[in-house]
Amino acid sequence: MEALDLARWQFGVTTVYHFLFVPLTIGLGVFVAGLQTAWHRTGKEQYLRLTKFFGKLFLINFAMGVVTGIVQEFQFGMNWSEYSIFVGDVFGAPLALEALLAFFLESTFLGLWIFGWDKLPKRVHLATIWAAVIGSNLSAYFILAANAWMKHPVGYEVVDGKARMTDLWAVLTNSTALAQVPHVVAGAFIIAGGFVLAVCGYNILKERRTDPDRTVPMRRGAGSIWRTPMRAALVMTAIAGAVSAGTGDLSGKLLYEQQPMKLAAAEGLERDTAGAAFSPVPGVEIPMLLSFLATNAPDAVVRGAEDLQAEFAKKFGPGDYRPNVPVVYASFRVMITFGMATVGLSVLGLWLTRRRRTPAASREHPAPHGPVRGRRRTVRVPREIPSWFARACLLALPLPVLAMIAGWLLSEIGRQPWTVQGELLTAASVSPGVSLTEVAVSLAVFTLLYGLLAVAEAVLLVRYVKAGPEQVSPAPSTPAGGSGNGDATAVMLQPTLMY
Amino acid sequence: MELTTVWFTVIAFLWTGFFVLEGFDFGVGMLAPALSRGEAERKQVLGTIGPVWDGNEVWLISAVGAMFAAFPAWYAGMLSEFYLPIVLVLVGLIVRGVGLEWRGKVHHASDRAWCDLGILIGSALPAFLWGAVFADLLHDSVTAMLVGGVFSVSLCLLHGAVFVALKTLGPVRARARRAALVLSAVALPAGVAALSGIPSAGTAAGGPDAPVWIWALALAATAALAAGVALTWRGRDGWAFTATASSVALTGAALFGALWPAPLPGLTLAEAASGPYALQTLTWIGLIALPFVVGYQAWSYWVFRKRLVAQPS
């Protein structure tokens, strides 16, 4: 066991953990901002209740994303000093931009949003949540551009054994980044959509257990406060699913050109093969599909791991240039299966919850102006959400999260043995002066702390989901000014969301 | 001015901004149990930093990000050399962050106590360790680390107490003022010891005499600290806070003045620097973005400018 191994474990553990919270921050933030916008536009109380309810869940989760993110920024310097020195000139730029352009925006405006409910004009307050979520999404772009550079380095030259940036624009518009950013952000929206679906599904089931009107089918689900967020989450997940599939396909084609070894590992392909088959599960092969997916040409040659290994050994010197094939192979399938399952669920849900036409002049929905000449007037009414679907929605919580984890394992384990593809090996990236003991201590400390916090976060989220949305008090009165103490006017800090 | 000097100045500015802003956050976090009697007052004390601490923390993230981009070898060398202290800083920032964010969300008094413990430890650890790490960079001695750590903690405590006095009304404000005066008994001697060591840091290692302006900065930092205490005594909360904030800022300026041009032993800025293209590009982006950042952060302080009172729940 070397410090290198533990440093890799530490990076894997802390990064995967960090990325449990970040996607939810990215997607749920936009969802909450959307709810508040709906409240702003319509003035309907239910939107305010939902904004505050999902806002609380968002904030509980946001805290974890922030604190685990600091570890990420420091970790490169701590465990990977040789990597940092090699790449800092290029890789540091998007990180610095992330802090300057995204994190300040996110943190400052979120503070204003949390505490500004009765201090800011409604319109300005709405703008603060949008500014914060723009910050979150912008940060995703910068860090993913940095990550994309590790897999497909562009806009640089190597001078004195260090990468020197020659073109920041090339780094920020790296083809790999342009495919990866929408793919990961779409994944974040699927995770957030799945989270909302699970919350709504749980609460709809709970409502049915306790609702005295359960015998009236029309009321079941249809009149529930959970119907709107569920529909919104279904739309969000389905659209994100389409983006995810499209950009995933694009990423596969880029792999073919830029990281053939990762593609070979993802498919378990040993030899260069023309008209390569795709195997959704081991043992089942669909002829020519892999070649078609990778290049749009069914008879194209896809490189195999053994042949690439021989080529790389000739080019870079002796060594093993293959990643851990079983892990990469399995991750790829988990990602696709679980991701697609969630998106499929959302499409099914959209169909199940569509409105249905019903004659307008019924007892429940009297037509305002009587029948229209020529054709019978109808109105569209919400359809009942089936209980089995509400139950299936609970799966939408874990499935996309597992898909996201698997996607990162595919992406980053598939990049091995390189930290910077073709330029710097992982083994040459680690801090030379940091001992095995030091890494072991920090790995143990972070793993233990992260484990405890995960339990606390889960307990807290479950408690709030179970409690459901609170009734909102009527419009908060403006703070009483002037206690006769000059500028030291005392006001109460409205404990709307915090403290 | 050379680009490396520009970026060293930017990084010094970001670190100093972090010291000034998170300085009072750390102080408030450490003082919260001492300044409050009961839950309503505890909320009042923590409410003074509630809306702003997260934005303040980004100054640290920006400082470290800028080091990574502009001086990769400085970033990598400093973080890998002070490995275990940095682990503890991160643990502190983690437990403080979740403590502050979750405190208002938990329902039981025992859960709140855990959050309070996190806020206390999570404020004390980084406050002590950053002081110790920078003191060790200057002097490379255990004694200096201790002095630096104690000075940093006591300065944060004093700065935080003055901030609470400025931002609250009622018994908490009176307690915060008293606390500031008591704390000055530690902060002033520690300040004299730590600040007087800054200019001579290079000289002891056989380097050239410190420039006069570093002496001037260190002296001004000490004077501002004393002024902060005197102004608290006179009940001038706003001016007292201006004085302690100036003291922290001047300490940061003196510290980075002493670190120039070799931020790590045996590593000059020129050796550590990124290429001219990277520095130039980042300079333009930084020049455009930084005024906006300072502007909207200042606006958020303006929005939350009113003093807080304890609010029975």
Q: How far is CA A277 from CA A102, A138, A308, in A?
A: 43, 38, 18
Chosen from A17, A56, A68, A81 to mutate, greatest number of chain B CBs within 10 A: A81
d(CA B103, CA B98): 8
Cβ distance A98 to B65 less than 8 Å, yes or no, reads yes
Nearest CA in chain B to A64: B98
8 Å CB contact between B283 and B70: no
Q: A39-53, A86-100, A459-473, B152-166: which has the minimum mean pLDDT? A: A459-473
B270 close contact with A: CB closer than 8 A? no
d(CA A499, CA B304): 15
Residues 271-300 of A with CB under 8 A from B: none
- Token pair 């700065």 is found at B159
Cβ distance B68 to A71 less than 8 Å, yes or no, reads no
Residue A498 has pLDDT above 90, yes or no: no
ipTM of the complex: 0.91
pLDDT for the residue A267:
86
Res. A361 pLDDT band, cuts 50 70 90: low
Question: Length of chain A, please?
Answer: 499
8 Å CB contact between A94 and A155: no
Cβ distance A490 to B309 less than 8 Å, yes or no, reads yes
Residue numbers in chain B where pLDDT is lower than 70: 202-209, 313
8 Å CB contact between A21 and A219: no
Comparing CA positions, the residue from A392, A397, A390 lying closest to residue A211 is: A390
To the nearest whole Å, the CA of B18 is away from the closest chain A CA by 13
Classify A424 as helix, strand or coil: strand
Task: Give the pLDDT mean for A373-400.
Answer: 81
Cβ distance B274 to A485 less than 8 Å, yes or no, reads no
pLDDT for the residue A479:
40
pLDDT for the residue A213:
57
Identify the burial level of B43 via C-beta atoms within 10 angstroms of its C-beta, where 0-12 means exposed, 13-18 middle and 19 or more buried: buried
Comparing CA positions, the residue from B88, B70, B77 lying closest to residue B7 is: B70
Task: Give the pLDDT mean for A296-322.
Answer: 88
Cβ distance A108 to B313 less than 8 Å, yes or no, reads no
Average pLDDT along chain A: 85
- Token pair 């919270």 is found at A21
Residues 236-265 of A with CB under 8 A from B: none
d(CA A83, CA A106): 29
To the nearest whole Å, the CA of B308 is away from the closest chain A CA by 6
Strand partners, A286: A278
To the nearest whole Å, the CA of A254 is away from the closest chain B CA by 27
Run of H or E including A465:
helix A436-467
8 Å CB contact between A230 and A440: no
Q: Which residues of A touch B64 (CB under 8 A)?
A: 73-74, 77
Q: Which residues of A touch B80 (CB under 8 A)?
A: 77-79, 81, 431, 433-434
pLDDT for the residue A481:
35
B98 close contact with A: CB closer than 8 A? yes
pLDDT for the residue A212:
58
Q: Which residues of A touch B293 (CB under 8 A)?
A: 100, 104, 108
Q: Which residues of A touch B101 (CB under 8 A)?
A: 59-60, 62-63, 66, 498
pLDDT for the residue A480:
37
Nearest CA in chain A to B95: A67
Nearest CA in chain B to A165: B278
pLDDT for the residue A385:
83
pLDDT for the residue A497:
39
A/B interface, count of CB pairs below 8 Å: 249
Task: Give the pLDDT mean for A124-149.
Answer: 95
Residues 127-186 of B with CB under 8 A from A: 169
B108 close contact with A: CB closer than 8 A? no
To the nearest whole Å, the CA of A187 is away from the closest chain B CA by 25
Question: How does pLDDT run across A19-37, given as a tens digit for each residue?
Answer: 999 999 999 999 999 999 9
B40 close contact with A: CB closer than 8 A? no
Residue A387 has pLDDT above 90, yes or no: no
pLDDT for the residue A482:
34
Q: Which residues of B touch A80 (CB under 8 A)?
A: 76
R_g over Cα of chain A: 26
Q: Which residues of B touch A115 (CB under 8 A)?
A: 50-51, 304
Half-sphere exposure of A214 (CA within 13 A, CB side): 11
pLDDT for the residue B227:
94
Residue A475 has pLDDT above 60, yes or no: no
Res. A131 pLDDT band, cuts 50 70 90: very high
Run of H or E including A302:
strand A301-302
Q: Is A167 left (phi over 0), alpha (psi -120 to 50) or beta?
A: beta
To the nearest whole Å, the CA of B194 is away from the closest chain A CA by 27
pLDDT for the residue A291:
87
pLDDT for the residue A204:
86
Residue A221 has pLDDT above 60, yes or no: no
Q: Which residues of A touch B311 (CB under 8 A)?
A: 492-493, 495
pLDDT for the residue A485:
35
Q: Which residues of A touch B84 (CB under 8 A)?
A: 438, 441-442
Comparing CA positions, the residue from A113, A253, A248, A93 lying closest to residue A170 is: A93
B313 close contact with A: CB closer than 8 A? yes
Helices (H) and strands (E) counted in chain B, each on its own, are 13, 1
B3 close contact with A: CB closer than 8 A? no
- DSSP class of residue A433? T
Cβ distance A64 to B95 less than 8 Å, yes or no, reads no
pLDDT for the residue B263:
85
Q: Which two tokens stand for residue B235?
A: 């009940």
d(CA B136, CA B144): 6
In chain A, % of residues over pLDDT 90: 58
Residue A90 has pLDDT above 80, yes or no: yes
d(CA A380, CA A374): 19
Cβ distance A438 to B83 less than 8 Å, yes or no, reads yes
